[in-house]
Amino acid sequence: MFFLSFGFLACSAAFGQVSIEDCYDKARANYPLIKQYGLIERARGYNLSNVSKAWMPQAQLSAKATYQSDVTSIPIDFSKLGMPVSIPSIDKDQYGATLEISQTIWDGGLTGAKRKGIRAKAEAEEREVDVNLYAVRERINQLFFGILLCNAMLEQNQLFQDELQVNHNRINNLMQGGLANQADLDAVRVEQLKAKQGFTQISHSQKAYLEMLSAFIGEKLDEDVRLQKPVAQQVVVPDINRPELSLFDANLKSLDAAKSEIDAGLMPKFGLFLTGGYGRPGLNMLESEFSAYYIGGVRLTWNIGSFYTRKNSLNLLESNRNAVQTQRETFLFNTSLNKTGKENEIDKYRELLKTDDEIIALRNSVRRAAEAKVENGTLTATDLMHEANAEQLARQDKIVHEIEWLQAIYNLKFITNNW
């Protein structure tokens, strides 16, 4: 299906003009959340570095001093057997200090799974930042087209005021010829004052929009700033390509990484160790003097308790996966509805614009005829103001339809993320 999309005439952009694409880029660079990318990257680096240190030799120092109520002894009196043998008893107060150095040989893939999980989590966090930053574009659309509408309305209001001044002069001249009275002149004056009030209201709205847009892009925009108006181009609107979809994918990858970590937790771990110690007693329990010693070897550890919780852990991951899939389907469903609504809205404004010029031409013809009747004395100034207001309203309707048409197209771009 084909829809009208809008681009800008960059070649005709004059000094001081601002395009909506400029506003997108500047708002993104100025938005405080942009700093989150750097923080996520730093955190990912720190976490990966910490996990990698699991392969470095680990050292553990411990010391203890104990007193026990009884000790091991040999209940044999060798002297009664005529043997001059004396076996010393172990002291009840014992002391020891050990330093153990261990080196992992194989951890069952746990470190690799943790690295994968850290990267997946960081990617999910970055995609979430993408989503939040992307939402800024919708605010820029509202402000940018709000300013365009205000600018067009102010221009049209000024033209209307000029036209009212012409009518004021016309009625004033007719009063001198006796074809009009003060009430007719007052009727024109009332419309002039109302037009000035409308100009003031629109000016304040324009100022508010400009201040908010300035805050978003981090750049001061004056009231005389020129915004580039889009020009129609024919393009194909592709499928939905919102950053939320990348966020859902990243969350699923994070769940895959969590499953890898669960599987790695089931594997046994192998490592080397070397323990050196000094205490009383040492390895020789019958030695009552302080002595140094060491022990070295290979160690196998296997936490079989992970098998008890594996099924529940996998079921929990599956539930989380289904939740993410449901969120994705819901998002696509709602976004598709919004896309269809905007497409119909664009068609509506396009059809309205086809008849706006004809309505304006007819209103202009009626107003000119009313002016001629007023000069001939066959129509009052009040009736003339009625026709002038009707023409002004028709011109305003066209302005509103055109800007809303533009905004609807850019809202469709936002909904589908196709620019």
Percentage of residues in the chain with pLDDT exceeding 70? 91
Q: What is the structure's pLDDT at 13?
A: 39
Q: What is the mean pLDDT of residues 363-389?
A: 90
Residue 250 burial (CB count, 10 A): 20
Residue 51 C-alpha from the chain's centroid? 29
Q: What is the pLDDT of residue 375?
A: 85
In this predicted structure, what is the pLDDT of residue 86?
A: 64
pLDDT of residue 378: 86
pLDDT in tens, 88-98: 677 888 899 99
DSSP secondary structure of 70-107 = --------GGGGT-----PPPPSEEEEEEEEEEEEEE-
The single residue listed with the structure tokens 């509202």 is 142
- For the cut 80, the answer to whether the pLDDT of residue 87 exceeds it is no
Q: Token digits for 197?
A: 């009030």
Mean pLDDT of the chain: 88
pLDDT band at 283 (very low <50, low <70, confident <90, very high): confident
Per-residue pLDDT reduced to its tens digit, 122-155: 999 999 999 999 999 999 999 999 999 999 999 9
Q: Where are the beta strands (DSSP E) in 150-243?
A: 226-227, 231-236
CB 165: neighbour CB atoms within 10 A?
13
Query: Which stretches of 107-148 are assigned E, i.e. beta strand?
Result: none
The structure's pTM equals: 0.82
Q: Are strands 2-7 and 231-236 parallel, antiparallel or unpaired?
A: antiparallel
Taking only the tens place, the pLDDT of each residue in 226-261 is: 898 876 655 556 689 999 999 999 999 999 999 999
pLDDT for the residue numbered 144: 95
Least confident of 241-250, 275-284, 321-330: 275-284
Tokens (6 digits) for 23: 């506003």
For residue 77, the model assigns a pLDDT of 65
SS (H, E, C) 396-418: HHHHHHHHHHHHHHHHHHHHHCC
Whether pLDDT at 15 is above 70: no
By C-alpha distance, which of 222, 32, 4, 246 is closest to 136?
32
Type of residue numbered 203: S
